[in-house]
A and B are shown apart, each in its own frame.
Chain A
Amino acid sequence: SLTRRLCILKGIYPHEPKHKKKVNKGSTAARTFYLLKDIKFLLHEPIVNKFREYKIFVRKLRKAYGKSEWGTVERLKDNKPSYKLDHIVKERYPTFVDALRDLDDALSMCFLFSTFPRTGKCHVQTIQLCRRLAVEFLNYIIASRSLRKVFLSIKGIYYQAEVLGQPVTWITPYAFAHDHPTDVDYRVMATFTEFYTTLLGFVNFRLYHSLNLHYPPKIDGQAEAELKPAEGKEYAMDSESYLEKLSALSASLVRVVAPTQEDDVEMDVFPVEGETAEQVDARKKEQEALEKHKKLFEGLRFFLNREVPREPLAFIIRCFGGQVSWDKSLCIGATYDVSDPSITHQIVDRPRVEQQVIGRYYLQPQWVFDSVNAKLCLPVADYFPGVLLPPHLSPFVTEQEGDYIPPEKLKLLAMQQGEEPGD
């Protein structure tokens, strides 16, 4: 089990020998083979000693418990050995880009762990840390506006962001209680999570600093005042409410250096050698399309009804520049009320809406997802409450020539080309 943990933490994987039979002493039974070099490499890891110390600690503690020596138990617990994985992260990902490339699994795992109940299965601290890191990451994505694709699958919600040029994809489960399966070894998952939280923490730190944001994140002073509950109504403990406020995803974050005009200076374009004017044009056009995509919901004000999943929708809308609010009793961080006349879109997920306010669209949540994937605000008529929705297509599929393309996708492509819908 020590070896297993070491292998997971150090990222050692088995190898397939060239001559399986020769290595396996003539037998053809299935076995996993590690390189001798890898195992020797594991031996030199300083963390091995820490693991041994921990083992000794557990043994001592058990003995003290058995003898009911509570004083010893206290003392031992105070001196519980701890270890850090910083150097392993650095060793496995010598450059920051390497870490970003391998972020997919880390994010999915952290998002999963942050939805676990605070009882059983794993340490509460781990769950809290996962939640904190996940929320920090979401806040970074909002601040950098780097979300690109979203997808509602039957497994969960997929997100794809482009972080410093690297595509990062993660999945979050739908917000329901898990029925914990029995055929899963949670210790393996916990070991992975241990490494992933360390990795994600460092990545978050670096990402926040790349945007000149405070780390750990600080909510903007102005927004902070807005978020403060009314006098006399204490929300929760201060330490807890801060994470809650952060996870409301409705406030912007404090920057270390106030953004100045100079930051937005347009980059000069240097034509790359050997590039034709067409290619330069195409690149320029692509850049413009990207900028437009980032500002998809700019100027729109959304209101989320209580039956729609708040966090994913608030995250997506904020990522594309929209303003979003929800019922005050649903979550902290609501900025305006349902009766606000300036609301342009209200996201509802019920068969019909009784009292409709004139001047806003009542839409199903799929509209937000489809619009993001289509990179344009789709016509709203297909998404009214109670209407049979058009199919939700995966944005991750790029059809090759000769592949089957669903008719809805063809329609969408035509729409992106600028044709009028309904042709």
Chain B
Amino acid sequence: SSLLQDIRNTVGNIPMEWYQDFPHIGYNLEGKRIYKPIRNKDELDKFLEKMENPDYWRTVQDKMTGADIKLTDEQVDLVHRLQKGQFGDVRFDPYEPAVDFFTHEVMIHPVTNRPADKRSFIPSLIEKEKVSKLVHAIKMGWIKPRKPKEDTPTYYDLWAHEDPNSILGRHKMHVPAPKMKLPGHEESYNPPPEYLLSEEEKLAWEQQEPAERKLNFVPQQYRCLRAVPAYSRFIQERFERCLDLYLCPRQRKMRVNVDPEDLIPKLPKPRDLQPFPTTQALVYRGHTSLVRCLSISPSGQWLASGSDDCTVRFWEVCTARCMKTLPVGGVVKSIAWNPNPTVCLVAICVEQSVLLVNPCLGDKLLYGATDQLLESYVPPEEERVQPVQWVAATIEEHSKGIRLTVQHSKPGRGAAPLMGLACDRLPPCSLQALKQVTWHGKGDYFASVVSDNSNMQVLIHQTSKRWSQNPFRKSKGLVQCVLFHPIRPYFFVATQRYVRVYNLLKQELTKKLMANCKWVSSMAIHPGGDNVICGSYDSKLAWFDLDLSTRPYQLLRHHKKALRSVAFHKHYPLFASGSDDGTVIVCHGMVYNDLLQNPLLVPVKVLKGHALTLDLGVLDVLFHPTQPWVFSSGADGTVRLFT
């Protein structure tokens, strides 16, 4: 049958897929197509055939012709044997006894008796040539001996000699990579339930860009450790870390990582800022009307107070005893003790004149010397034009202690005849009363303020030469008070709203401080000279740091009514303000030498004691020059000492 089939396959041993789409396979001798048997059986036909044909199981399709062939019994057996892994040939016996080709025993005769070749016992020329080539190559250094292989790296103590000098400079510039963030509770395999995402959160997480996600994983909870699967993005995350390490720019950023709490300066407790006056120690009674002004001797032993009852009283500080009462015949607006400790002199503003009074208190030598100093004045040969008149005291006045009078009023009232000529050229002096007098730190110069609106408001006088001058050509507003800088040649002039700082040497305006208040009432300067406080009638106290700005460094609004007076302590970091509400507020005002550190202002104590009279409370405050004591004078006619 195989012969017959071979004739029918005319195409040879080719892949039969080539004819897959054709109805025929090959051609016969006449060149006609040999058609495949028609196979249009559907599933049903196949099934029927399977059921009906008992030889269906041994029927296979011949790929070469496309015809169905029924396998013969022999062929079926062959298939079975091959399936079992046996040999296809039935007759082949794989377990035949092996017969050795040669015996393992050594025989006396060789298998072949051919004599050995000559070339088997003489050295090979080809090999010799090869060896000589190699030798030559080794000699020439072309072939090198093999390096011993090192599979495992060797380690040693790399940091045995840590040499600080060998550290490269660039190492200091090196920014070490920030460490990876440590995991939080949400990364746990069994996190607290509040860390799991809800459905909406999960949805939101999926919709976010991977770069925007706060967490790069979804928190999940597993019941036990064996349920935890591998994390599929582990390698990616390590890889991303690698990329970060070598591709991310690094930069040192000065992040302001401060707690907002820390930004608020820690105000120290007032208790820690002692000493400061806390209790009323003494009351100096005697004045019958408002006590407008106070002044203390540089030694701190004597206190002078000027009052509306037209007297100036001198007190001993420690005993509250009135040592002297000086009737001056006018309301005393201001009083100032000469700050020079070797001079015993008090300047008193009475109406239009400044009285220089030697109170004759304390050391006899001291006030004797003061008198000598004043008498040693030699009038200059040529009388100069002066805006004021210096009048020596009469004998009567001299016995009271008055030594000199500086009259600001119109000339003619007992003016020296020589001044007559000059009078015409003087600008018209008003009849306004003086309102302030203040000494320069050295004790020779003093300044006085007249309450009018002309350029003659402020005058600077020199005691030793009995010489006065008007520093300003033009009036810049109603001058409230003036001050000398304690160290440098500066002069502070407070008008209603501004404080102007003039350089006396260069004769120019250096600074203009804006007080941010309606009406400045008083002013005091820190002994260091860089800080100024201004009290105002709208109950504000402005602290200026001259190095910082022309605006107030701080505005304190602790008083309820208008401020009348402010004062600094000479040594302690204290300042005080007296107000119409009858209180004195003592504040701690620490000024640091370090320019970077701003002053520290802490109110520490409210001192009460003065009774309100005519809606006026405290009119003047003053610190003791050495002790942390504060004096206050009030509208109730008393002077009080708080220690």
Q: Are B162 and A94 in contact (CB under 8 A)?
A: yes
Q: Are B157 and A205 in contact (CB under 8 A)?
A: yes
**CB contact list, B136-187 vs A, under 8 A:** 144, 146-147, 150-153, 155-159, 162-164, 166-168, 170-171, 174-177, 179-180, 182-185, 187
Q: Are B251 and A15 in contact (CB under 8 A)?
A: yes
**Residues of chain A within 8 A of B54, CB atoms compared:** none
**CB contact list, B228-243 vs A, under 8 A:** 228-239, 241-243
Chain B nearest CB from A177 CB (Å) reads 8
Q: Are A201 and B153 in contact (CB under 8 A)?
A: yes
Q: Are B235 and A15 in contact (CB under 8 A)?
A: no
Q: Are A152 and B225 in contact (CB under 8 A)?
A: yes
Q: Are A169 and B158 in contact (CB under 8 A)?
A: no
Closest chain A residue to B144, Cβ basis: A79
**Residues of chain B within 8 A of A70, CB atoms compared:** none
Binds B, one of A294-302, A392-400, A413-421: A392-400
Q: Are B190 and A41 in contact (CB under 8 A)?
A: no
| Binary per-residue interface labels of chain B (210-230) against chain A in the complex, 1 for a CB within 8 Å, 0 otherwise | 000000010110111110111
**Residues of chain B within 8 A of A129, CB atoms compared:** 152-153
Q: Are A189 and B225 in contact (CB under 8 A)?
A: no
**Residues of chain A within 8 A of B147, CB atoms compared:** 78-79
Closest chain B residue to A86, Cβ basis: B158
Q: Are A16 and B223 in contact (CB under 8 A)?
A: no
Partner of A192, one of B176, B228, B231, B245: B245
Binds B, one of A153-161, A218-226, A267-275, A324-332: A153-161
Q: Are A155 and B228 in contact (CB under 8 A)?
A: no
Partner of A94, one of B166, B180, B246, B251: B166
Answer whether residue B192 sits at the interface, using C-beta atoms and an 8 A cutoff: yes
Chain A nearest CB from B230 CB (Å) reads 4
Chain B nearest CB from A79 CB (Å) reads 7
Q: How far is the CA of A11 from the CA of B242 in the complex (A)?
A: 11
Answer whether residue A108 sits at the interface, using C-beta atoms and an 8 A cutoff: yes
Binds B, one of A99-107, A137-145, A281-289: A99-107
**Residues of chain A within 8 A of B572, CB atoms compared:** none
Q: Are B234 and A158 in contact (CB under 8 A)?
A: no
Answer whether residue A339 sits at the interface, using C-beta atoms and an 8 A cutoff: no
**Residues of chain B within 8 A of A184, CB atoms compared:** 235-236, 239
**Residues of chain B within 8 A of A181, CB atoms compared:** 233, 235-236
Partner of A13, one of B146, B232, B246: B246
Answer whether residue A27 sits at the interface, using C-beta atoms and an 8 A cutoff: no
From known contacts A154-B217, A183-B236, A184-B235, infer whether A215 and B155 are also in contact, taking CB-CB under 8 Å.
Answer: yes
Binding site for A on B (CB under 8 A): 144, 146-147, 150-153, 155-159, 162-164, 166-168, 170-171, 174-177, 179-180, 182-185, 187-195, 217, 219-220, 222-226, 228-239, 241-243, 245-251
Known: A105-B241, A112-B238, A184-B236. 17 other contacts (CB 8 A): A32-B247, A79-B144, A89-B158, A94-B163, A101-B176, A105-B180, A151-B188, A173-B234, A174-B228, A174-B229, A181-B236, A184-B239, A201-B155, A202-B157, A391-B190, A393-B185, A394-B184
Binding site for B on A (CB under 8 A): 4, 7-8, 11-16, 32-33, 37, 41, 78-79, 82, 84, 86, 89-91, 93-96, 99, 101-102, 104-105, 108-109, 112, 125, 129, 151-156, 158, 169, 173-174, 176-181, 183-185, 188-189, 192, 197-198, 201-202, 204-206, 209, 215, 307-309, 349-350, 364-366, 388-389, 391-394, 396-397, 406-408
